Structure 1
Amino acid sequence: MKSTPQITVLSPALSLLLATATGLAVASIYYVQPLLGLLSGQFGVGSAAIGLLPTLTQLGYGAAILLLSPLGDRFDRRRIIVIKAAALVLALSLAALAPGFAALCVASVAIGLAATLAQDIVPAVAALAPEAERGKRVGQVMTGLLLGILLSRVASGSLAAAAGWRAVYAVAAIAVAALIPLLWRSLPSFVPATSAGYGSLLASMAGLWMRHAPLRRAAIAQGLLSVAFSAFWSTLALVLAGPDFGQGSAVAGAFGLAGAAGALAAPLAGGLADRRGPQAVIRIGALLVFIAFAVQALAPASLWLLVGVAIVFDLGVQAALVSHQSVVYSLDSASRSRLNAVLVSTMFVGMASGAALGSTLLASFGWRAVPALGAVAALGALAVAGRR
């Protein structure tokens, strides 16, 4: 069964709504990170146990990307988006009301599962956008996604300091709930692109990987850039607290604003990809990441240089991602949800690997080893992007 062209115009208002929904969905994964100290005291558990909360959230998110996101090709995306938004409201509400640590662990898994709402919205935007503007439109929504990642920690820490950790989850649930009627009224019904069964959908992702060389290049290159991205952000607080910088958690949280500055350029990168072709933008993005990390690894320690590095490499990562999505979504209009699942799951592996490698290198060789890793990963992405 083939999908029919959508008649809904992807207006600026609808783009803003979808970008907001994407940002709030993905932010739900990261609210817990600044709260771990408060939660440890609240429930009387040690640092090892409290670390389960972000781990379980990420595991839920990763599992749902592979197991649930492909359903967007089989069922009406509008219904999936609204159902997941409602599930996210319930999961956030459970976290806000959690009577104990075990309940909060269950809520963390549920938040991760439902937060993949973001990965259903992006293929929906690709389907609604005119082909000549697909990169720009996807870039607008991806700005919301990256802003959600980068600003969630700032919002969570500030609200928890003022009103307690439960208020973070309660406000988040209210915000997502307010979007549900708007999403239902504004989005069209999407005709399913396939009638394949669930097992066939999952199996077909391996076939898509084997059949489309551009998908493999995009996933591997973006996965390598995700290694660099995650290595920086997962070690930043420890680096800033070290003797070279001597800064506290407030400064670490404020770095989200520096990263957000780079994220705001995503629509520009998408528009450039529409006009000049995505491959040029991908190479420029990977080069920016390499330059930023190479300078950080070689230059004297400087807080302002670190801010500049965050802006430049976030811009590069985001520009490459939007352009890679433009490449991937053009491969097969009937498989966009599965193509997106392959791309994002590979990025997820890169993020996890970057966090682990960054922490290990920081402990073993000092903070300069982290940008060295980022530079090497960016060179690898450049090499992959340059292949034909």
Structure 2
Amino acid sequence: MKSNVRPGLTRGLIALMAAACGFAVANVYLNQTLLVDITGTFGATEAEVAIVTTLTQVGYALGNLILVPLGDIFERRRLILALLGVTSLSLVSAALSGSITWLIVSNFCLGFTTVIPQIIVPLAAGMADERNRGKVLGTVAIGLVCGILGARFVSGLVDSFWGWRSMYWISFGCTLLLALLIQLRFPVSKGTTSLPYRGLLLSLGPLFIKEGVLRRACLSQGMVFGSFSVFFTTIGFMLQAPPHSYSSAVVGLVGLVGIGGAIATPLIGRIIDKKGASFANKMCMLVALISFLIAAPAGHWLPALILAAFLLTVGTQANQVACQANIFNLSASARSRLNGLYMVCTFLGGALGSYLGVWAWSRWHWMGVCICGMVMISVGLSTALGNKKWREQPQTISS
């Protein structure tokens, strides 16, 4: 039987890449289920504690802008290990936080250095055969889905038994283990561009302006991921307030059901390989929009919220695969820069969604949250529907 991957990209390595992406990205999301208890610890308001998760995602966006392009210059395994080292220090700092300001700064630094998945994904894309790139990206994205949603469930469970600080210590131990596995199993890679770092950063603006495919992908996933943050940043406030009054463990469980959405990422990869990213992109955004149409009128019915969480996760994560498959076709030598710009916009959208979600909740509660999410998705969907030719002819990007 003919292998679906190139010789250097074994199934075991793909699985490790998926796991590494999951464990690394979990650090960005573990604080979302902890917000209620963090509020109690420091006597902060809901608006103040929302800055914790908002600046974590802002830090992640900046890390994608400043650090991820280094993957086009340096050997990626060494770069990943260096970032994991700084990430572990940020986790210790968060666990020892003595004030809300200290915790905010620690989480910002955590988000800034936890960009490992966005260095791994271009590496996987470059090692994959063009005919199977969508499938490989979809498989690696399973780890991202499980990390994002598993972080909420595990952090909620840990918080219920041992408190929110314990979650940061557990993540610290997992980060050290991940660093060991990467040191032992990841391949040695080479930089793909001769540009110096300053030239690399200066190339980002012209690259963004030049590539319409990249701009549309950024807007699409930025808005969809923003709606994802709107939902999951505020659902804890609703479920832990009357009439529900659930524990943080139950809040995490609602997020966990979305892991079932991981099955959609390899499926969307196959759809991309067969029907193209334009079809997949529009389909994913429609699924995300439907999730809010379900959640809005049934916010106090837990089964409806679980279904909405599942569909929103499917739409968000599958849309990320569709958009990345499109931008990686633009240039092999600029994949880290393309992915860095793409993820900057994605997580700026996520940070905006986190802030707007808490703002809408504080004024109009759950219905306001759902309307906010639907508006964000509609902005991205209108751009995709208004563009008749999503897939442009790739242009040559100077290395």
1:133, distance to aligned residue in structure 2 (A): 1.4
After superposition, the CA RMSD in angstroms is 2.6
Structure 1 Cα separation of the partners of residues 97 and 365 of structure 2: 41
Does the 8 Å contact 1:70/1:338 carry over to 2?
Answer: yes
What's the % identity of the aligned pairs? 35
Q: Which residue is 2:229 aligned to? A: 230
Structure 2 Cα separation of the partners of residues 39 and 229 of structure 1: 22
Q: Which residues of 2 match residues 72-221 of structure 1 at below 5 A? A: 72-96=71-95, 98=96, 100-101=98-99, 104=103, 107-221=106-220
Give the secondary structure class of the aligned counterpart of 1:375.
helix
Question: Unaligned regions of 5+ residues in structure 2, if any?
Answer: 390-399
Give the secondary structure class of the aligned counterpart of 1:368.
helix
Question: Unaligned regions of 5+ residues in structure 1, if any?
Answer: 1-5
Q: Which residue is 2:354 aligned to? A: 355
Q: Which residues of 2 match residues 273-352 of structure 1 at below 5 A? A: 273-298=272-297, 301-352=300-351
- Choose 364-373 or 103-112, whichever is displaced more: 103-112
After superposition, the Cα gap between the structure-2 partners of 1:346 and 1:303, relative to the gap in structure 1 and judged at 3 Å, is same
1:39, distance to aligned residue in structure 2 (A): 5.1
1:55, distance to aligned residue in structure 2 (A): 4.5
1:361, distance to aligned residue in structure 2 (A): 2.9
Structure 1 Cα separation of the partners of residues 352 and 58 of structure 2: 14
Structure 2 Cα separation of the partners of residues 327 and 140 of structure 1: 16
After superposition, the Cα gap between the structure-2 partners of 1:51 and 1:364, relative to the gap in structure 1 and judged at 3 Å, is closer
Structure 2 Cα separation of the partners of residues 376 and 99 of structure 1: 36
After superposition, the Cα gap between the structure-2 partners of 1:65 and 1:276, relative to the gap in structure 1 and judged at 3 Å, is same
Task: Report the TM-score when normalising by structure 1.
Answer: 0.88
Does the 8 Å contact 1:290/1:376 carry over to 2?
Answer: no
Q: Which residue is 1:16 aligned to? A: 15
Does the 8 Å contact 1:285/1:320 carry over to 2?
Answer: yes
Give the secondary structure class of the aligned counterpart of 1:9.
coil
Structure 1 Cα separation of the partners of residues 356 and 109 of structure 2: 27
Structure 1 Cα separation of the partners of residues 330 and 79 of structure 2: 23
Q: Which residue is 2:369 aligned to? A: 370
Q: Which residue is 1:62 aligned to? A: 61
Structure 1 Cα separation of the partners of residues 29 and 79 of structure 2: 22
1:214, distance to aligned residue in structure 2 (A): 0.8
Does the 8 Å contact 1:209/1:216 carry over to 2?
Answer: yes
Q: Which residue is 2:270 aligned to? A: 271
Q: Which residue is 1:3 aligned to? A: none
1:255, distance to aligned residue in structure 2 (A): 0.8
1:182, distance to aligned residue in structure 2 (A): 2.4
After superposition, the Cα gap between the structure-2 partners of 1:247 and 1:165, relative to the gap in structure 1 and judged at 3 Å, is closer
1:245, distance to aligned residue in structure 2 (A): 5.1
Q: Which residue is 2:250 aligned to? A: 251
After superposition, the Cα gap between the structure-2 partners of 1:244 and 1:132, relative to the gap in structure 1 and judged at 3 Å, is farther
Does the 8 Å contact 1:8/1:188 carry over to 2?
Answer: no
CA deviations 1:182-221 (Å, max 9, x no partner) are 2133222222111212222112111111111111111111
Output the amino acid matched with 2:134: G
